[in-house]
Chains A and B, each alone.
Chain A
Amino acid sequence: MRFDPQLAAVRFGTGLSKNYTPPSSVDGWMASVDGDIETAWPFVRLETLKPMFKDAQRLRKLRSQMRGNGATEAERKQVGDDLKAIDRKLHDGRLQTLHHSLARGAFDRTGFSTRLSVFWTDHFSVSGNQRLWRDLHGDYIDGAIRPHILGRFEDMMMAVLTHPLMLHYLDQISSIGPNSVKGQQSKGRGVNENLAREALELHSLGVDGSYTQDDVQAFANLLTGLTGSVFAGFRWRPKVAEPGPHLIMGQAYGSKSPQLSDIQQAVSDIAKHPDTARHLATKMARHFVTDTPTSDLVQAMVDGYGPSGDLAAMTEAMLAHPDAWGPQIGNVKWAFEYVVSVMRAMGMQPNRLTGLNRRKSRDLFQRPLAKMGQPFLDPSGPDGLAESDALLMQPTALAARLDWALKAPDLMVRGLPDPRQILPHVLPGKIPEAVQQAVNSATSRHEGLAMIFVSPAFQRR
């Protein structure tokens, strides 16, 4: 069992397409993560959003001042219109994040960088349900995740722990050291241990890792001072930071005058911990290869991760390992990957995607993803999406995929193609007899295409 480009396209990429030829070596796959696709399909970044947030804040204040101060109808209308214009721009930004995420997966030679980004974004799951925060997902991915998918884990973890969206999501921005300068002034506010707990349990050491409740509390104390807002971005505020030292797994961090570098040091040590290496390698192998990876594969990935937490070496170790190439397709695709793989299989063109208005995009992507049980960038909790196939392939999810596969292809291309022309290009290996037969006997093109896309051979990778 060894590297196979067709299998690679399905297992490690975003699927087969007659428009793209997958690279024929591990080196070619690693090299395909070159940043070009992200440059071609950028996300809205915080620097662009900040002035809009500030304008909106200013206009809202103005609007409330106008109540009863003799402002003319026209003046009030102007403010209302300006606010609406900003709201529209923000909305367009969110739509762009969805469309460009899909584009990065659908219009790339491999889609490998998308798969890695999706995996690590899910590993550091956030959701920004509240106003303004939900505009920050693109910045989160391209600011904290994407730059490090083939870098060092400690850099990714630190970038995540200093991103305002994560600080907001896991309540860190309101955490205050009781013995900090601010804590002494305002009694009654205190430490919130949510982020510290998840950072150890989910992000690094794993729930079976060698840490205790005391370590969680000490880490929570150490993390005070990490704060931020949508207006300012990340801010390090020593005035709310609990003075150290803080004893975390036997190691002391920080001093009487807290520094950001104290946190950096602790994150670096936690990232390099053997428990972290094993937790990440196992999780990555489960996601990309199979729910039950061999211990050989996991060990090779742990070795790749090494003492420095090298994600490129861990990723390459996975691709280079024979156990990653079992010819039997296994894992069920996540909903987003599934949708992207259908876009590729249908040969959807970029202008079809960019031409979708808000409503059509909602019907084609947003609502279906939610019905499939995995709404776009909105995991149900910080532990992210389910990995086990049995949990993914429930009747509801299957019915939602079927419903979508019956309707979506029509919106992806002009004129539905003959399913018999599509089938030979979209499955790795031999085409299962039943799928061929279903496609041959379908009474309509849309049912024929749906049979391809709901078949286990297409939904697994």
Chain B
Amino acid sequence: MDRRTVLKGFVGCSVAAHPMVTPIAFASSADSGRLGDNRLIVIILRGAMDGLDVVQPFGDPELAKARRKLVTGPENGALDLDGFFALHPQLEMLMPLWQAGELGFAHAVSTPYRDKRSHFDGQDLLEAGTAGVPGAEHRGWLNRMLSQVPGLSAQTAYSVGLDQMAVLAGDAPVSNWSPEIGVSLSPQGKRLLEMVMHDDPLFQQASAEAMEILTSLSENPGPTDGGEDLMMMGDDGMMMASPPKALRNIANGTTGRIAEFTANRLRADARIAAFSLGGWDTHGGQQRSISRALMNLGVAILRLRQDLGPAWAKTTVLAMTEFGRTVYENGTGGTDHGTGGLAIFAGGAVRGKQVVTDWPGLAEVDRYQGRDLMPTRDVRAYAGWALRRLYGFDRALIEDVVFPGLEMGSDPGIIA
């Protein structure tokens, strides 16, 4: 029996009938269902984001020693956050959010995943929210959270984009959509489609959801058109008359459309969404390769903020990655798979302008196995506290059902 089989039973025990389930006092809201007004967007950063490059601990003298080609610190253009950490210059577009307390970070965090440093296992575990690598059956922690709230409709939670979001997969009904699809079928065609799919549960469900989303999209078109104005954040004094072409392309491309669609759903009845952004596996030429990934992330967050409008005040964005990367740079101007890393939180509902961490230090003796940033806190604790603060879930329920095996510890205070 391999470890996957062993763990399968463990994961499978998360059912709605858990004894710890307690009724939750939800804010009343006529049309937004039982989750109240708070919105949660989980972004999975696929490929292992180098947290040490995104939020650079330049106050730790070991950083400059371990990284010679990857330029770091404020003297090389990074944006000083608090005298110890500096933000990668490519995320300058998010500085107004930091200043407004709408952006913060958790450093030296990781999932419980260790040692094999496989993207796929690492992501499976991050999305499953379990202590060990889950089985091939994809079930995610966001879905387990949803299954604790009886009576939610599938439109409460959206998995957005062509990527399959395992974090939202499971027993609770969720919706899945990529904003690039359109179908034109006659009313008779729709009836025939239902008939053809009727006896195959998998197809029947996918087809019904697809038709439902298509119908609702045609009834509620989005308020914005393209991302031309995205970078003009007038109220923050961050005017950029003509955003660089690369940013415009991202804003008008897949990333922009995903963020736009997500915001469109969350403005209406949806409360939970998940999507992923790739490009973080920076083994070589990291200076160049990470810039692109950071632009995508920055644009996605700005787009969400813009399109959510007033709902941004009730929104928490949580961006997480499968693991961090090596402290030292490798021989090809990049970094290899590591352990401890960075989580990002943003939104009007967060208490930003802080880098929350129990900093382990970067000296070789302080590292994990001498090579990686030592994780000092389980990243699931941040997600767990967010769920507790946003939706009032019982602590025991989060520790036993949503994130089995998690010790939440004290409140890190990332939600305002």
Is B195 interfacial (CB 8 A cutoff)?
yes
Query: Knowing A444-B186, A455-B196 touch, does A396 contact B210 (C-beta < 8 A)?
Result: yes
Tell whether, in the assembled complex, residue B331 and residue A188 are in contact, meaning their CB atoms are under 8 Å apart: yes
Q: Which of A346-401 contact B (CB under 8 A)?
A: 370-371, 373, 380-381, 383, 386, 388-391, 393-400
- Number of A-B residue pairs, CB cutoff 8 Å, is 165
Looking at chain A's contact residues, is the secondary structure mostly helix, strand, loop, or mixed? helix
Residues of A near any B CB (own CB < 8 A): 171, 174-176, 178, 183, 188-194, 197, 201-202, 207-208, 213, 332, 370-371, 373, 380-381, 383, 386, 388-391, 393-400, 402-403, 406, 432, 434-435, 437-438, 441-444, 447, 450-451, 454-456, 459
Tell whether, in the assembled complex, residue B210 and residue A438 are in contact, meaning their CB atoms are under 8 Å apart: no
Distance, CA A394 to CA B168, complexed state (A): 12
Note all chain B residues with C-beta closer than 8 A to A208: 2-4
Q: Which of B164-199 contact A (CB under 8 A)?
A: 164, 169, 175-178, 180-186, 188-189, 192-193, 195-199
**Pick the contact of A389 from B163, B193, B202, B283 — CB < 8 Å?**
B202
**Pick the contact of A171 from B120, B278, B332 — CB < 8 Å?**
B332
Tell whether, in the assembled complex, residue B331 and residue A175 are in contact, meaning their CB atoms are under 8 Å apart: yes
Query: Knowing A208-B2, A208-B3, A434-B196 touch, does A399 contact B330 (C-beta < 8 A)?
Result: no
Query: Knowing A389-B202, A390-B202, A395-B206 touch, does A441 contact B184 (C-beta < 8 A)?
Result: no
Minimal beta-carbon separation of A211 from chain B (angstroms):
9
Note all chain A residues with C-beta closer than 8 A to B182: 403
Query: What are 29 pairs between A and B in contact, CB < 8 Å?
Result: A188-B69, A190-B331, A191-B330, A193-B336, A197-B117, A197-B118, A202-B120, A207-B116, A208-B2, A208-B3, A371-B181, A383-B120, A388-B136, A389-B202, A395-B176, A395-B206, A395-B210, A396-B162, A396-B178, A396-B181, A399-B214, A402-B210, A434-B195, A438-B192, A438-B193, A442-B189, A450-B189, A456-B196, A456-B202
Note all chain B residues with C-beta closer than 8 A to A406: 183-185
Q: Which of B99-134 contact A (CB under 8 A)?
A: 115-121, 133
Distance, CA A437 to CA B199, complexed state (A): 14
Distance, CA A192 to CA B337, complexed state (A): 10
Tell whether, in the assembled complex, residue A456 and residue B200 are in contact, meaning their CB atoms are under 8 Å apart: yes
Distance, CA A443 to CA B190, complexed state (A): 11
Tell whether, in the assembled complex, residue B202 and residue A371 are in contact, meaning their CB atoms are under 8 Å apart: no
**Which of B4, B180, B278 is the most central at the interface, judged by chain A CB atoms within 10 Å of its CB?**
B180
Note all chain B residues with C-beta closer than 8 A to A393: 202-203, 206
Tell whether, in the assembled complex, residue A192 and residue B283 are in contact, meaning their CB atoms are under 8 Å apart: yes
Is B284 interfacial (CB 8 A cutoff)?
yes
Distance, CA A309 to CA B163, complexed state (A): 34
Note all chain A residues with C-beta closer than 8 A to B198: 434
Minimal beta-carbon separation of B390 from chain A (angstroms):
27
Note all chain B residues with C-beta closer than 8 A to A188: 68-69, 331
